[in-house]
Structure 1
């Protein structure tokens, strides 16, 4: 199953995704956690080095993929293609957790290409559990306490 966790900065999206990932690991579920922008950057480099297939196989082997802060930075054409491949490889077979500051309704525009957006979102949105966090930043609250 897939989970989307959305909300403003500091509301606990990464914390919840990490906690789910930690529990998955404790239960023997192979999990990969990555900041989405960093992962996309690494995969673009791998594509240039012609090692993308081995990198994608590492991702495929994981039953749970956690993409943290997806769409924080807009996707370029190569990143859209890579994200599409990741989603396609996982569709109906393996789980993904996505955290994003953008609400799910804004993901279509964040992907940037209508055709690719349709393909990606059609594969993940309809069956995902959605958690929308609200409230002040935990970092802001903790800073006031100090």
Structure 2
């Protein structure tokens, strides 16, 4: 019964840039806003450009305190400022994500690496 959307963060940001150019950005952002849980996978794996920063800020702001978001990232939190690329925007985004987050830090070998090893 819960509306969940999984998205690779880089692909989502690219799709939102295309939607902006096509004039359908508001429709796409409304779809994201309607989901009860948004899962952003591999966030900050690729640094954000100015348009992506603006889109991510809007997504985070729309969800803050109202809807849930799961963020996965292989980049340590200390490096998120550099990946966002603008300290003011980074403060706004991270203030809404980090300070209210439940963190789960995974340790050990990658599951992909373990599966590849077992398959040999």
TM-score (norm 2): 0.95
Equivalent residue pairs, number: 119
> Equivalent residue for 2:64?
91
Structure 2 gaps of 5+ residues are: none
> Equivalent residue for 1:21?
none
Which structure shows the bigger proportion of residues in strand conformation? 1
Could you tell me how far 1:143 is from its partner in structure 2?
2.1
Moved more, 88-97 or 136-145: 136-145
1:57 aligns with 2:58: no
The C-alpha deviation readout for 1:118-138, integer Å capped at 9, x for no partner, is 011111111100011111122
> Equivalent residue for 1:107?
80
> Equivalent residue for 1:39?
12
- 1:1-146 matches, within 5 Å, as 28-145=1-118, 146=120
The C-alpha deviation readout for 1:14-61, integer Å capped at 9, x for no partner, is xxxxxxxxxxxxxx2111100001100000000011110000000000
Structure 1 gaps of 5+ residues are: 1-27
